Amino acid sequence: QSVLTQPPSVSAAPGQKVTISCSGSSSNIGNNYVSWYQQLPETAPKLLIYDNHERPSGIPDRFSGSKSGTSATLGITGLQTGDEADYYCATWDTSLSIVVFGGGTKLTVL
Amino acid sequence: QVHLVQSGAEVRKPGASVKVSCKASGYTFTYSYMHWVRQAPGQGLEWMGWINPNGGATIYAQRFQGRVTMTRDTSINTAHMELSRLTSDDTAVYYCATGEVPAAIQYNFWGQGTLVTVSS
């Protein structure tokens, strides 16, 4: 059972928009920065968003992040088949003194 | 260009130990913490701990306390993660990861992963 709760799966058609939620508490998301990762099959994760909403260089602006209270959201617009992957949120948990990841969300582009 | 290159796949028997290496290049090794994250087959990501290459201080997730040891060798820009008393539940891909900000939970760079299989 993950400390951060993500939907197991989301799906949408090519060209559409999808959002992935990440729900936590005041000990993690509520008081720490959130980052998001994309993991394509059989590859290492890749940083998509850090500091809640910042994109590393090279990440297209189709990917966006936001945070409100104890929840964070990853948004992906203009969906492409290459976006099919698992997506994870992560942050520091002050009470547990560990990095916590969400359970992951599998994105299917129909 | 930053690269993290990990050691190759390992097979161990239950009760044994395994040591995974992560060689860094393309940045100042002592600048950013090195984290270790594992992923069991078909499962999500699990953080194991970090080491500060500048000085060697470590923080381990409580569930691995007493079984994990993270070290570094600054002369060869390499971090190591050793896990002891292995069980089948430790079968996983182990990743090293680091970022552009020293203590941030922001993994800009990842190793390719090392598969550790624990089987009798």
Does the pLDDT at position A48 exceed 80?
yes
Which parts of chain B have pLDDT scores under 50? none
Q: CA torsion, points B114, B83, B52, B76, in degrees to nearest 10? A: -60
Q: To the nearest whole angstrom, how far is the Cα of A17 from the nearest Cα of chain B?
A: 24
pLDDT recorded at residue A62: 97
| CA atoms of A3 and A91, how far apart (whole Å) | 10
pLDDT recorded at residue A10: 98
pLDDT recorded at residue A78: 97
Q: In terms of C-beta density within 10 A (0-12 exposed, 13-18 middle, 19 or more buried), how is residue B39 classed?
A: buried
A34, A83 Cβ separation under 8 angstroms: no
Q: Report strand pairing: A9-12 vs A105-109.
A: parallel
b/e map A59-81, b = 16+ CB within 10 Å: beeebbbebeebbbbbbbeebee
Nearest by CB to A47, which of B35, B59, B106? B106
Does the pLDDT at position A1 exceed 80?
no
pLDDT recorded at residue B100: 86
pLDDT recorded at residue A25: 97
**A94 at the B interface (CB within 8 A)?**
no
Q: How would DSSP label each residue in A69-90?
A: TTEEEEEE-S--GGG-EEEEEE
Mean pLDDT value across residues A25-44:
97
Mean pLDDT value across residues A13-36:
97
* B-chain residue closest to A97, CA distance: B61
Mean pLDDT value across residues A16-22:
98
| CA atoms of B54 and B72, how far apart (whole Å) | 9
Q: What angle do CA A16, A22, A25 make, to 5 degrees?
A: 155
pLDDT recorded at residue A90: 98
Does the pLDDT at position A72 exceed 80?
yes
Does the pLDDT at position A58 exceed 90?
yes
Both tokens assigned to A27: 């000990």
CB contact (8 A) between residue B113 and residue A44: yes
pLDDT recorded at residue B103: 76
pLDDT recorded at residue A2: 86
Q: To the nearest whole angstrom, how far is the Cα of A15 from the nearest Cα of chain B?
A: 27
Q: To the nearest whole angstrom, how far is the Cα of B79 from the nearest Cα of chain A?
A: 18
| Residue from A47, A59, A94, A99 whose CB has the most chain B CBs within 10 Å, to mutate | A99
| CA atoms of B40 and A69, how far apart (whole Å) | 31
pLDDT recorded at residue B104: 84
CB contact (8 A) between residue B62 and residue A33: no
pLDDT recorded at residue A11: 96
CB contact (8 A) between residue B45 and residue A101: yes
pLDDT by residue (tens digit) across A79-106?
Answer: 999 999 999 999 999 999 999 999 999 9
| Residue from A31, A47, A89 whose CB has the most chain B CBs within 10 Å, to mutate | A47
Residue A64: pLDDT band by 50, 70, 90 thresholds? Answer: very high
| CA atoms of A102 and A2, how far apart (whole Å) | 6
Chain A hits for B61, CB-CB cut-off 8 Å, are 98-99
Does the pLDDT at position A12 exceed 90?
yes
